[in-house]
Each structure stands twice: as C-alpha cells, then as structure tokens.
Amino acid sequence: MEELLQPRHPLDKNHQAQLQALQQLPESQRAEMARLFRLGNATYRYQQLAAGEVTVADYQDWLEGLPERMRRAMDKEGFEGCKTSLALRRHALERRDVGYGEFMQSILSPEDWAFEQQHSQRANSSL
C-alpha cells in the first residue's frame, strides 16, 4: 500500500489513515482513491510552503485582484481573518515565484500530473 501514496501526507496520522482507508476498499477502487490522496497530499504540501509566510502586503495585493463583492467581504474579514485562506496563501506563494503548477509537476508522477492537468482544464472550461 505504501507505494500507492507517493507523495505521502507529511503528517503521519493522516498518512496512516489514508493507508487504512485504502486497505478497506475493494481492490478495484484502490488506484483511483490512491490518486486522489496523492493529489491532495501534494496540494497540502504546496499550501504548507506558505505557512507563516503570508504578509499584509500579500493580503493587500490579493485584495486588489478580487472581484468587487469578494473584495469587500475579504476586506471586512481583515488580514487576520484571511491569512490562512488557501487562495491568499497561493497568491503569496505565486508572488514569491513558487508556482502551483511547477510545484505540482515536480512532486507528482507524470501520470498524476497529466490527470491533474486534464481535471483542471475541465473544471475551468465549465466555469
């Protein structure tokens, strides 16, 4: 099972829970669930790069790029209320040239990266 979870979740209790979940699934469902875990693990690792690194300047720059209604709502929340937002964390990382796509491509297998790209394109085309 261990080989199905590369990249693994960095928190051991979560990794163990993923292993247990895979073991309990029928064999025919394991590969798909393992892929979803791997994609989630990679995304989690990306988001952790911004832990403690989001600044007020990142927040202000992020606000400027939001649609008006969202900007007002996030402005009302303030920096403290938004600093753990996944969207703001990604914005902060992108400002530091740590791009989501580049990171994901570097950590995922070529097959998982292709799946991620295909899924992202479908999601964006339905918007």
Looking at the chain, the number of H-run helices and the number of E-run strands are 7, 0
Closest of 36, 39, 41 to residue 15, by C-alpha: 41
How far apart CA 49 and CA 45 sit, in angstroms, is 7
Give the domain range for residue 13.
7-48
Residues 60 and 38 in one domain: no
Q: Residue 118 domain-assigned?
A: no
Considering only residues 123 and 103, tell me which one the structure prediction assigns the higher pLDDT: 103
Residue 67 included in any domain: yes
Nearest to 50 by CA among 117, 112, 120, 97: 97
Give how many domains the chain has, as a whole number: 2
Report if pTM > 0.85: no
Q: Is 40 exposed, middle or buried (0-12, 13-18, 19+ CB in 10 A)?
A: middle
**Tens of pLDDT along 45-62?**
999 988 778 999 999 999
For residue 126, what pLDDT is reported?
A: 60
